[in-house]
Structure 1
Amino acid sequence: MGLPAIHEDMSDDELDKIVDKATIASSFLKAISHEGRLMILCHLVTGEKSVTELEELLSARQAAVSQQLSRLRLEGLVIPRREGKAIYYRLADDKPQKMLECVYELFCKEDV
């Protein structure tokens, strides 16, 4: 599957579909464009984590972690689960992991 070729004789419906997909992709990229959100996703690739665990892993304050989790939840990238007073988060689907694999290939693989 290659990139779509946008050309002059494209129908309005075809162009609208490409614009819709670009909007979705743009929202996704904005959601992961913050270092804190990206690191949260990296930690969640290994499995569900509580907010407290994420605070410790990120060496960040609860308010900062909660704010980033809220954005990730709003974008549909993570799913919360409450157990008593603790809230646990996991990846909503495989899109964040696939994205992280691409980021790793582009920016990290040579360094490790």
Structure 2
Amino acid sequence: MQAGLDLEMVRNRADEVAGLLKLLSHPNRLLVTCELADGELSVSEIEARTGVAQPNLSRDLARLRAEGIVSTRRQSKQIFYSLKDPRILAVMRALCDAFAPVADAPQTPKKELAQ
């Protein structure tokens, strides 16, 4: 835990944080939000990068939008998605860095993680 962490504030927002983690616990939504951590993408770009089929992708993007995780921008016939809240961006970058680090970055051996 961080020094000076306001545990009471964490306690008061625990349901909100747990709800976010539950929303992100679906593999498709996790893939989509990890991709959006790098910046705005069109629906077709998200589909190509994640491999999530269009019907499922539409459902998951609608859910992320309804929950206030992503925002949209329309340009002609294309819809672009981006992460709405900078806190979500920070969470997604931390998750992606922890579980899919850049090839050049030093990695912690799995044995150390288990301890």
Q: The TM-score by the shorter chain falls in which range? A: 0.7 to 0.9
Distance 2:6 2:100 in 1: 24
1:100 aligns with 2:103: no
Moved over 6 A (4+): none
TM-score of the superposition, structure 2-length normalised?
Answer: 0.73
Identity, in percent, stands at 32
Unpaired stretches in structure 2, ≥5 consecutive residues: 102-106, 109-115
Query: Which structure's CA Rg is the greater one?
Result: 1
Q: Provide, for residues 4-28 of structure 1, a one-character-per-residue CA deviation record: whole Å limited to 9, x for no partner.
A: 26xxxxxxxx8xx934x11211111
| Structure 1: 5+ residue stretches without partners | 6-13
Match of 2:77 in 1: 85
Please tell me the root mean square deviation across aligned C-alpha atoms, in Å: 2.3
Displacement of 1:107: 3.5
Partner of 2:46: 54
Partner of residue 37, structure 2: 45
Q: What is the TM-score when the length of structure 1 is the normalising length? A: 0.75
Instruction: Report the secondary structure of 1:46's partner residue.
Output: coil
The 8 Å contact of residues 34 and 93 in structure 2, kept in 1 or not, is answered as: no
Helix, strand or coil for the counterpart of 2:7? coil
Query: Size of the alignment, in residue pairs?
Result: 100
**Residues 24-75 of structure 1, C-alpha deviation per residue, up to 9 Å, x if partnerless?**
1111111111111111111111211111111111122211111111111111
- The corresponding residue for 2:11 is 18
Corresponding residue for residue 5 of structure 2: 2
